[in-house]
Amino acid sequence: MNNKKYISFLPYILVLGIMLLLISYGTDSSTKNFNYNEFLTQAESLTFTRAEMSMGTTVIDVTGSYKEDGKDVNFTVRVPNTEENVKYLTDIFKENKDTNLTVSDPNKESLLMTFLLNVFPFLLIAGIAFFMFSKMNAGGNAKAFEFSKSRAKMEGNIKVRFKDVAGCDEEKEEVKEIIDYLKDPKRFTDMGARIPKGMLMVGPPGTGKTLLAKAVAGEADVPFFSISGSDFVEMFVGTGASRVRDMFKKAQQAAPCIVFIDEIDAVGRQRGAGMGGGNDEREQTLNQLLVEMDGMGENKGIVIIAATNRPDVLDPALLRSGRFDRQITVNLPDKRGRYEILKVHARNKKLSPEINLESLAKRTPGFSGADLENVLNEGAILAVRDKRKMITMEDLDEAIDRVMMGPAKKSKKYTEKEKRLVAFHEAGHAVIGLKLEDADKVEKVTIIPRGEAGGYNLMTPREEKMFPTKADFMSQITGLMGGRVAEEVMFDEVSAGASNDIQKATKIAKAMVRSWGMSSLGPIQYDDGTGNVFLGRDYGSGSNYSGEIAFEIDKEIRKIINECHARATKIIEENKELLTLIAENLIEEETITSEQIDNLVKYGKLTSPEDDERAEQAKEAAANGTTQPQEEVKQEPVQEPKKPEIDFDAALKELTKKDVDDQNN
């Protein structure tokens, strides 16, 4: 490898050497340059050993050497070409019999110098050009000429397996046929079956689409080509289409293999959309992709897997049968899936024995696989920061808050009025979560600023539902109204702190009326379902309902919000004491957990009687200089295994019988 690296520099070294040779030709740093008058005054006193007179039309160029302190010194001089000068020079040089005099005509140059000065530069340029183009065709380091080459990275010997992909068991079942086909395609051809040419993985970011594709390649033990959709698009016209052709050419050479195109929506958007008719270069790339997928023969050993989180913008021609035949939805994991994902990412983490991954999975609804990995990583970073040798539950709690809301801004100080306002606001959310049956459960309340929020409630669903009902959405909106209502009831004032709550509540109410048919307008969808994914889509088509219906939609949204607001007001008014109790403790402690909130509801304080009793015993033990008594663990005596009883009579009969048989044989 190193020899090839050095050999590639040889042409450059050769060219540099020749250039230096040409520059230094005829020159010497030790050469004495005489002027005409200086030479005439010193010539008679010098002992010349060599002289060459180049007879020009008007001047004579004299070069040679003379002796000085026993050393030869080169010299040059230019004198006018006259008869007197020619006779003078000839006489001077002939006085010393050891002088080797040469008279030459400058018009008759040597063939070597003529070649070097006139022909060689052109040969040098031609050689350099030939070298560069040969390197380009051989796929060398000439990156400037590789616009049309595919940027797909081929990976062999993929280490990812299905055991490394958790939380998507159904999705793994869908791709098992691909693995069986890549391992033994003859089984499918004998049955007359055609394996899907392409598989489209759809899902939110971070759900493991890329990891699942790698696991398929790892399980099938085939090469894995990976490329992003944006890698096809370049500033040069035709580059994308050329890269698509080159990618499929390489895939055919490496078949059976898997070609994975990540973020295919970058190149697979719907054609002809937009104000100007779309991007011609991108559409050419998409057309070439469609042609190449059609040109792939059946059961040729190439499977195209693409991933996107924007399936609504893809061109219908890309999704038809024969191209991307199968669409797999990789959703956010449920509680069991999150637990399995946490187990996978916790394999190389030093976790404290107190950590319960099931409890952690329950507290992270809506987290993707990437989010869960980030939670464990942030927990490990916090443990290292505090110079602990194991990750504790406090580290993971802080990590969850960091992933959801950002780092705590402890340096940001409230005024006393603002602190009370924030505390009652967050306590209002907590009271709704405690008193409303269908509302989310409160896990933690804090007034420490994080990100853009002055404080927040960590609330988790009591149970994860696949199909939430109208009552669930109404309870969710009521919970969002809890903070605003608490401000109104306790301070007769409202602040801008509820802006995010209002935004979420309005979004849910709009979806209930326009998309889910949960209003008096009936089960009619007033939303187009796709939205203006980019400027110009369905431009000028107008809405699919009249202005009167739009007015009715606004009325229904306002009705839902007002109803939930009134419901929240009633709950807060009935539980003012609990609201004040939670808020006052929140002002003092700044953060309250779900266990502490339960103690406030049951006992009116943050600790339970059992906790107080244990704390009192520990205090007394510390005062007496003794340790807290521990319960003795009774260990049952270890019983030695009973030795089997031996029947000596039976053993003697068996031995005697064996000896008799041996004698008979």
Give counts: helices (H), strands (E), the chain: 25, 14
Give residue 104's identity as a one-letter amino acid code: S
CA nearest to 423, candidates 449, 403, 442, 460: 449
State the Cα–Cα distance between residues 56 and 370, nearest whole angstrom.
85
Give residue 325's identity as a one-letter amino acid code: D
Catalytic residue among 171, 426, 443, 488: 426
Q: How would DSSP label each residue in 378-429?
A: HHHHHHHHTT-SSB-HHHHHHHHHHHHH-SB-TT----HHHHHHHHHHHHHH
CA nearest to 486, candidates 565, 600, 560, 561: 565
Q: Are 50 and 65 in contact (CB under 8 A)?
A: yes
Is the alpha carbon torsion for 232, 369, 166, 468 positive or negative? Answer: negative
Coil, strand or helix: which one is 190? helix
Cβ contacts of residue 310 below 8 Å, gap of 6+? Answer: 265, 533
CA nearest to 498, candidates 511, 481, 479, 477: 481
What burial class does residue 132 get, using C-beta atoms within 10 Å of its C-beta: 0-12 exposed, 13-18 middle, 19+ buried?
middle
**Cβ neighbours around 503 below 10 Å, total:** 11
Q: Residue 393: how many CA atoms within 13 Å on its side-chain side?
A: 11
Q: How would DSSP label each residue in 514-573?
A: HTS--STT-S---S-SS--SSTTTTTT---SS-HHHHHHHHHHHHHHHHHHHHHHHHHHH
Cβ contacts of residue 549 below 8 Å, gap of 6+? Answer: 521, 526
| Cα dihedral value 635, 637, 638, 640, nearest 10 | -170
Tell me the backbone φ, ψ of residue 662, rounded to 5 degrees.
-65, -35
Is the alpha carbon torsion for 418, 420, 424, 427 positive or negative? Answer: positive
Beta bridge partner(s), residue 155: 224
Among this protein's residues, is 426 annotated catalytic?
yes
State the Cα–Cα distance between residues 73 and 36, nearest whole angstrom.
18
Show which residues are catalytic. 426
